[in-house]
Amino acid sequence: MKKKDWVKFGVMMAIFVFILALDLVTKYVFDDLLDDGRTITVIPYLFNFHLVHNYGAAWGMLAGKQVFLIVLTFVFLAIFIFYYIKEKNKTWFMNITFGFLFAGCIGNLYDRLFFGYVRDFIQFDFWKSFPVFNFADVALTVGVILLIIYLIMYYVKDYKSKQKEKTGNE
């Protein structure tokens, strides 16, 4: 691996470690601070800290299906790792994307494995029906959005290069 590739990998790992640490530390703090069921208003009518033990996925979907969610997380991690290893041109964008994805997956997987639920604590006060979430959820959301952008850019670039080959060969 070239020095530049090691630097990109290091950036991905730094993002992963920072987000995972932020997620696990804040979950620990708010799980202890809000274990009595109270809510801390951070910005009135905007957002609060309110602890929820989520036994499912977003909006409580698949509640009680922890084994399925754990297996699903391992499947996605395996797909991400396989894709990351397989990809020869590991761009800065790709490394940043996978840093977010790995941190989000591992943060919530840790909770599922060790607690049987995910500790969520960030709540939008103005949108009561929106699920309470944590930093792993934020990382997953950002990571998935970046992955979609990355894949679109990759396939558009690939399509253009194939079109150039077609027109160049005729």
For residue range 132-149, list pLDDT tens digits in order: 999 999 999 999 999 999
pLDDT surpassing 90 at residue 21:
yes
Give me the catalytic one of 23, 36, 120, 125: 120
Q: What is the number of residues in the chain?
A: 170
Residue of 23, 31, 32, 137 marked active site:
137
- At residue 170, the pLDDT reads 52
The full set of domain ranges for the chain reads 3-165
Which stretch of DSSP H or E encloses residue 120? Answer: strand 118-124
pLDDT at 120: 96
CA 144-70-57 angle, 5° bins: 60
Tell me the average pLDDT of the chain.
Answer: 92
Mean pLDDT to the nearest integer, 20-49: 95
| Tokens encoding 41 | 């208003």
Q: Which of 125, 137, 3, 117 is nearest to 66 (CA)?
A: 117
User: What does the pLDDT look like over 48-67, one tens digit per residue?
Assistant: 999 999 999 887 788 889 99
Is 120 one of the annotated active-site residues of the chain?
yes
Distance CA 140, CA 104 (A): 5
Catalytic site includes residue 137: yes
Q: Is the pLDDT of residue 81 over 90?
A: yes
Confidence of residue 1 (pLDDT cuts 50, 70, 90): confident
